[in-house]
Amino acid sequence: MFIESVAAIDWDDGPVTALVQVRETGPWLAFLLSATRGPRNRIHGMVPASSAAATALNDALAKANRGDDEIGQRFHCAIAESLGPLVLLRGSCIPTGEVPNSVELSWTEFRGRVTFSPEVAFEAQRVDYWADIFDAAEAEG
């Protein structure tokens, strides 16, 4: 998975939600799942987006400020439409111009654990939960 670009939708010391362009498969939606207090060991989740949803998000981003309600609504609708998979990325950011450290999971199994709050992403139990999930998937991989 080679990431070509990241368009932040909501920003909090790195994107909490973003539209990500992947060379092989097109647009994906990214969200921060867990983060330690430093920039390291962040885990972002990504699910594929339809081209229509990506176009609508790009158009809304071009017209409005980050955090705009319309952008948030479009992002949440696009998440609801996604069939997965869920790809977890671990690192200090969502890296562009390279292949990130990642694992693939079932979106159906984990979608109920996704939140879009940067405050929640820093909670110790969430950091431990997503780090354990990432490590287990990587070990199976």
Mean pLDDT by 10 residues, the chain (141 residues): 91 85 95 81 94 90 71 89 95 89 95 88 92 94 70
Q: Is 119 exposed, middle or buried (0-12, 13-18, 19+ CB in 10 A)?
A: exposed
Its pTM stands at: 0.90
Structure tokens at 54: 């990506």
pLDDT score of 65:
60
Length of the chain equals 141
Ramachandran region of residue 58, left (φ > 0), alpha (ψ -120 to 50) or beta?
A: alpha
What CA–CA distance (Å, rounded) separates 19 from 54? 7
pLDDT score of 2:
94
Over pLDDT 90: what percentage of the chain? 61
Q: Which domain holds residue 120?
A: 3-140
* Number of domains forming the structure of the chain: 1
